[in-house]
Amino acid sequence: MLYFLGKDIQCNYSEGCLESCRKITYLLQYLKRDEEIEQLRAEKTSLLAVLHHKDEEIDQLHQSNTDLREGLQQAILAIEYLQERVKALEERHAKDSHNSSLPPSSDRFVRPPKSVRQPSGKKAGGQKGHQGHHLLQVERPDAVLVHAVERCEACQHDLRESPAEQPERRQVIDLPTIRVWVTEHRVEEKGCPVCSHRTRAAFPQGVSAPAQYGKGIEALAVYLVEGQAVPYARTSQLLQDLFGVHLSACSIARCVKTCHQQLAEVEIQIKAALLNAAVIHQDETGLRVGKAGQWVHDCSTDRLTHYAAHPKRGRAALKAIGMMEQFSGTSVHDGYFSYASYPCQHALCMCIICAN
């Protein structure tokens, strides 16, 4: 009996043949185990490859997770920054020259003023017992025009010789015809019969050119520019349209400079009066001078106002103006820190208190 490949078979061969068959059987079993081992090795290699692929996927997922966490952190930081930025912009938008110390030149948006007045329950318009003001006639008009009746409007009878009554009069208050007034100055020259010297009279002071504009036109130009804040070019155009006066913007600037020099003594008197006041009001606002920004500092009472322009807003400007060092009364202002450094009494403006 021979066991071959898992089966019992009948064999009639000799003992030598049986031994060979056993060796062949062992060899075949060994080869079968090698095939199984190779198959297992191939399966192991395949499993290792799959495991390596899974490890790479896990590493990629870890990296993606890390990137997402970093991106989320950056997004959170960006959101926090944008929230702070929006808050700052909202606060900036909520503040302007009406409710803070910001100058009017910094206002970007037109904000309608909000009235703090409470309803009174009264009807709109003039109240009962109010002393009204209306246009009154004058006793001596400059011109009188009589509109005569020539014919009867009913029968057309001639009424030119009939006596007339004046049952009603009306007055029109208007401007006279606008024109420039030219005054010619002539000087005499005489010869002395004794020594033959010729003497010529002198022109009045200020009359120095063959043709020039007078003080009235110069004063009107300065008033329009400084008093009514009309731009130089528009003032020049206005003078030309109304009076036929050709005064350039540069000439108007010279008139303003001359007026400023002549008012130096008046400015000293205004400063002295403000220094003696019990309470003054101070503020500053932005001003464009050419292409550069400066500050206009004002100091005022109910009757006096002093303006001064300076490149600085703070203590350097106040020192250059030269009023705060000598003032001993009460200064009402917006709380700007430069004012607080002076030894006078200080009060906060009610507009700032209501705004904040």
What pLDDT, in 10s, does the model give residues 244-266?
999 999 999 999 999 999 999 99
Strands annotated E in 193-258: 198-200
Are the C-beta atoms of residues 297 and 271 closer than 8 Å to each other?
no
User: pLDDT at residue 114 above 90?
Assistant: no
Residues 307 and 326 in one domain: yes
Specify if 128 maps to a domain.
Answer: no
Domain boundary among 262, 287, 321: 262
What's the confidence (pLDDT) of residue 209?
A: 93
Comparing 148 with 90, the larger pLDDT belongs to 148
Same domain for 306 and 344? Answer: yes
Residues 276 and 248 in one domain: no
What confidence tens digit (pLDDT) does each residue in 119-168 have?
777 887 777 777 777 889 999 999 999 888 999 999 999 988 888 887 88
Claim to verify: residue 232 and residue 286 sit in the same structural domain = no
Whether 103 contacts 309, CB under 8 Å: no
pLDDT of residue 112: 57
On the question of pLDDT at 103 being above 80, the answer is no
| 323, 274: one domain | yes
Per cent of the chain over pLDDT 70 is 87
Sheet holding 305-310, edge to edge: 305-310, 292-300, 279-289, 330-333, 345-348
Token pair 């900036």 is at which residue? 92
Asked if 216 and 294 sit in the same domain, the reply is: no
Q: What is the total count of domains within the chain? A: 2
**Pick the residue with more confidence: 229 or 10?**
229
pTM: 0.56
Tokens of 330: 């009460």
* Residue 151 falls inside a structural domain: no
CB 297 within 8 A of CB 266: no
User: What is the extent of the structural domain holding 252?
Assistant: 212-262
**Is residue 330 assigned to a domain?**
yes
Point out the least confidently predicted range of 107-116, 178-187, 227-236, 320-329. 107-116
Q: Name the 3-class secondary structure at 202.
A: coil
Instruction: Tell whether 92 is covered by a domain.
Output: no
**Residue 162 CA from chain centroid, whole number:** 72
List pLDDT tens digits, range 21-42.
777 777 777 777 777 788 888 8
Instruction: Tell me, yes or no, whether 253 and 305 share the same domain.
Output: no
Average per-residue pLDDT in the chain? 85
Q: Which helix (H) or strand (E) holds 265?
A: helix 264-275
User: What average pLDDT score do residues 179-194 get?
Assistant: 93
Residue 188 confidence (pLDDT): 95
- Residue 303 three-state SS: coil
